Amino acid sequence: MHDTDFHQPDFAYASATCGKPSENGPPIALSIFADRAHLRETLRDDAQAAGLVVSAAGALCDLLEGNARPLGDVVLIDCPLVDAEALAALARLDMRAARCGARLIVSTTVDALDAVFSCMDQSAPVLLVDPSRAERVIALGQVLAGHPLGRLRELSDEDRLMLLRLSEQVGKIAGHIERFAPGGPDSNASAASAFRFADGRCGQVAGRHPEATRSSARAQLPDARLVRKIIRQRQQRARFLDGDLFADPAWDMLLDLVAARVEHKRVSVTSLCIASGVPPTTALRWIGQMVEAGLFVRVCDDTDRRRAFIELTETAVDAMARYFEDLVLAEPLPV
């Protein structure tokens, strides 16, 4: 993405009055930290147009200088490149946000993703990879929609108007971006039910008697070569048909992690995003959902705290092993 892209507005907000305190308390405050001055101004314009108050704005290094600056309710950070200073700033911000409950939206690049992911493990930030202006606003709207406004004050008329403006803009530009997002318009189930096992009991296959399941020997994962072959076959569909028609990032990531576990390999978040077959920002949303569903777990590198990996939980391992076992034991179709 070129820097000049930020100078071209992707959309326009209706006029809004910003910085006006509500009758029930101060409006939601937002902080912006980005080294690119023009990007800071773009983010400020979008936030203020939505009715947010920008309480602080500066470069990333400002987070390390002097006394700790007060954080807003939401913090936007842009970190396309990482060095020791940037990682220190992000790690400090991550710990502060976890303590005070601020929500972080962090944009970075594919090259820096692993480093950023590794140093921010406390505050559950929303990570964006090479986002467009529209994608940043979508992320802001999603964070605000789930913001615990009640802990600050009652939801005021100004708050409702601000969320409505964001929702209207998101509705205009989010169609193609959120096509594969968990809980998107094509989903009729909740985010949790999207990852429900069989009849809803994690690790238990529908139709099996509970006692039989507990007493039976644990199924084994298949040979990694078989899983890799299935992955290649799934990828080959894009040679003949539109790949978007068959995008299934959750399943593709599950298969990749199954193969990696059998091969005794560790999978970085960047590698898993590639395996998903969807844009990195979309893949990160799915990874977050899979972690919440108890299928994926974040594992830090014991020898290098700057690295972290994604692995299957034991629940997911058991479910996938039983899935492949049922494929092998399935009765052949009649001729």
Q: Where are the alpha helices (DSSP H) in 120-152?
A: 133-145
What is the pLDDT confidence band of residue 291, given thresholds at 50, 70 and 90? very high
* pLDDT for res 165: 56
Whether 311 has a pLDDT exceeding 90, the answer reads: yes
Give the confidence band of 103 by pLDDT, cuts at 50, 70, 90: very high
What single string gives the DSSP state of each residue in 5-24?
GGGS-S--PPP---SPPBTT
In 3D, which of 103, 105, 186 has the Cα closest to residue 151? 103
**Other CB atoms within 10 A of residue 161 CB:** 15
pLDDT one-digit tens code per residue, 219-264:
899 999 999 999 999 988 888 888 777 888 999 999 999 999 999 9
Dump pLDDT digits (tens) for 142-198. Answer: 888 776 653 444 445 555 555 555 555 554 444 444 444 444 444 444 333 333 333
pLDDT tens-digit readout, 32-69: 999 999 999 999 988 887 778 898 888 888 887 756 66
pLDDT at residue 334 in the model = 52
Buried b (16+ CB within 10 A) or exposed e, 297-325: eeeeeeeeeebbbbbbbeebbbbbbbbbb
Burial per residue of 177-212, b for 16 or more beta-carbon CB atoms within 10 angstroms, e otherwise: bbebbbbeeeeeeeeeebbebbeeebbbbeebeeee
- The pLDDT assigned to 211 comes to 39
CA-to-CA distance for 295 and 300, rounded, in angstroms? 17
Over residues 67-92, the mean pLDDT reads: 86
CB burial class (10 A; 0-12, 13-18, 19+) of residue 29? buried
Euclidean distance between CA atoms 125 and 247, whole angstroms: 25
Q: What is the DSSP letter of 102?
A: -
Q: Residue 198 has what pLDDT?
A: 39
How high is the pLDDT of residue 264?
95
Give 22-85 as a DSSP string. BTTBPPPEEEEEES-HHHHHHHHHHHHHTT-EEEEEE-GGGGTSSSPPPP-SEEEEE-SS--HH
The stretch 25-34 carries a mean pLDDT of 81
pLDDT tens, 104-138?
Answer: 999 999 999 999 999 998 999 999 999 988 888 88
What kind of fold does domain 194-329 have according to CATH? Arc Repressor Mutant, subunit A (1.10.10)
- Return the CATH fold of 3-173: Rossmann fold (3.40.50)
Q: What residue segments make up the domains of the chain, in order of their start?
A: 3-173, 194-329
